[in-house]
Amino acid sequence: MGTRRIFLKRAGFSTLALSLPFAETLSAMNFERDDKILRVAIMGLGSYGTRVAEAMVNCQRAKLVGVISGTPSKVETWKQKYGIPDKNCYHYDNFDQIKDNPDIDAVYVITPNSLHKPYSIRVAKAGKHVICEKPMALNAAEGQEMVAACKAAGVHLLVGYRMHFEAKTQEVVRQQRAGEFGETLFFQGLSGFRIGDPTQWRLNYELAGGGSMMDIGIYSINGARYMLGEEPTWVTAQEVKTDPVKFKENVDETITFQMGFPSGAVASCLSTYSLNNLDKFFLNGTKGFAEMQPSTGYGPIKAWTNKGPVEAEHITHQTTQMDEMAAIILDGKKPMIPVDGEEGLKDLVIIDAIYKAVKTGEKVMIS
Ligand code: NAD
């Protein structure tokens, strides 16, 4: 890909300008390759895709250059708004052709959950880097397939874990790793919101793969892991359903779950689609504590420890995320908290175990 990327620069623009019709020349000017910029196509122009696109306007290292959508009217709007050329617009039936488009480096998959795996694998087979929203897939087996496909294709697989780049989160994690809270033996994660429209895909098992756990509970799972800096070895979980009409079979409304870690630390978490104002992390150690609320919302995040408030500038999470992901893909930068496919897979293994624990009522061991 590197050779193709720098073709325009090497060719020298004046030579190129003479050999191309005017429109193509303009297009070449717009997308002249800069090896420091990750050129991204967004797949799924829904509410989160829109948020990411707006945040990317302020990126230094990532640029929105393409779209993949099944809705022509949205494509038209995005083309106008972001100056996207026709040749970088695809729909779900033809996006495999992206393999022949040297002006796109990566595709950000922001579709309903069940489409993450098939679409990410198609993107990988087209030779483009994959950025995929959380949950990376519906279960660990699917996640494993994605990791293998991206490895086989020689492309990066990154998961949209925007909190891993958030400054206050990183500062709390730094203090935890430095031992400033002593031995951290307890984590509490509360993740939830009151879901509206009963017809939305988030409440459709086929598209969502579950309920609140897939969508919002995953923040507490992921948070427990990065706040404690360990991987759990067991889970227990209990489900509560107050509205079986809205929350059909296999679509969880509320799950409380516990995780045990090798150090002896435990996590106690709540995932729900029935309560607002649930966005809180609490980490307690033998020498101190950290508390974050909101802890994973779009921010500003608020964090404090036993020593006082944690101060850091609020930057739109997705702006930082996309710049940092550009650095990971283009420069091989290692993020403080991983965001690769293996990281996404770890959360899926835990989600599988939580659903199993709910069904069996048993403690489920994670190897
Ligand atoms: P949304 O419903 O607003 O958008 C989904 C998009 O996918 C729409 O444009 C829709 O047209 C398209 N789509 C393609 N095929 C579809 C199909 N068969 N059925 C329904 N829609 C289809 O949803 P969203 O809130 O943008 O969520 C999309 C993904 O982003 C989810 O995986 C979600 O978990 C994730 N997300 C992540 C964050 C975060 O902070 N990281 C926040 C919100 C959503």
Boundaries of every domain in the chain: 2-160, 163-329+337-365
Nearest atom, ligand 1, residue 298 CA: 40
Q: What gap in Å lies between CA 104 and CA 337, rounded to an integer?
A: 26
Residues with Cβ within 8 Å of residue 88, at least 6 apart in sequence: 41, 65, 66, 67, 101, 103, 104
Q: Is 299 in the pocket of ligand 1 (CB under 6 A)?
A: no
For the segment 119-142, the average pLDDT, to the nearest whole number, is 98
The predicted model scores a pTM of 0.92
Gap from CA of 45 to ligand 1 centroid (Å) = 8
Candidate from 32-41, 150-159, 207-216 with smallest mean pLDDT: 32-41
Q: Is 216 in the pocket of ligand 1 (CB under 6 A)?
A: no
Answer yes or no: is pLDDT of 24 > 70. no
Q: How far is CA 145 from CA 42, 101, 137, 347, in A?
A: 22, 25, 10, 15
In this chain, the answer to whether the domains covering 2-160 and 163-329+337-365 adopt an identical fold is no
Nearest atom, ligand 1, residue 317 CA: 40
Domain 2-160 indexed as CATH 3.30.70.3000: no
For the segment 271-296, the average pLDDT, to the nearest whole number, is 98
Answer yes or no: is pLDDT of 216 > 80. yes
Answer yes or no: is pLDDT of 8 > 60. no
pLDDT band (50, 70, 90) for residue 329: very high
pLDDT band (50, 70, 90) for residue 147: very high
Answer yes or no: is pLDDT of 34 > 90. no
Q: Which residues are known catalytic residues?
A: 134, 219
Q: Which CATH architecture has domain 163-329+337-365?
A: 2-Layer Sandwich (3.30)
For the segment 179-183, the average pLDDT, to the nearest whole number, is 98
Mean pLDDT of the chain: 93
Residues with Cβ within 8 Å of residue 100, at least 6 apart in sequence: none
